[in-house]
């Protein structure tokens, strides 16, 4: 059971890591689109600027979704770890037996 728990924990960690990676990529794309929108805006190409702003918003939203998923998974892992750490922690403290 302990080995199975470690494998499951490793799979969760890998899944969370993938969400962080994808969020990072989306944030980078949002930043790049935002810079492009700024360039167009300064040049007076307002339609092009609006297009890039919409794309930036889309990438930022995707990043937010990946971060929400990573947080949800992390909280689920924390819920599984909490009862174990509480039961171990209470037995380790002197005078609480």
The first and second tokens of residue 45, run together, are 């190409």
Measured CA to CA, the distance from residue 38 to residue 45 in angstroms comes to 10
pLDDT in tens, 20-44: 999 999 999 999 999 999 999 999 9
Q: What pLDDT, on the 0 to 100 scale, is given for residue 85?
A: 46
Name, in order, each residue with C-beta under 8 angstroms of 38's C-beta and a sequence gap of 6 or more: 49
**What confidence category does residue 71 fall into, taking pLDDT thresholds of 50, 70 and 90?**
very high
- Between the two ends of the chain, the Cα-to-Cα distance in Å is 26
**What confidence category does residue 91 fall into, taking pLDDT thresholds of 50, 70 and 90?**
very low
Measured CA to CA, the distance from residue 54 to residue 59 in angstroms comes to 9
The first and second tokens of residue 80, run together, are 């599984």
């Amino acid at each position: 059971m302990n080995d199975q728990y470690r494998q499951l924990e490793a799979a969760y960690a890998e899944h969370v890591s993938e969400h962080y990676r994808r969020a990072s990529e989306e944030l980078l794309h949002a930043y790049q689109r935002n810079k492009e929108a700024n360039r167009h805006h300064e040049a007076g190409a307002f339609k092009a600027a609006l297009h890039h702003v919409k794309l930036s918003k889309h990438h930022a939203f995707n990043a937010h979704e990946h971060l929400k998923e990573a947080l949800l998974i992390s909280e689920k892992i924390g819920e599984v770890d909490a009862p174990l750490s509480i039961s171990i922690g209470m037995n380790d403290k002197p005078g609480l037996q």
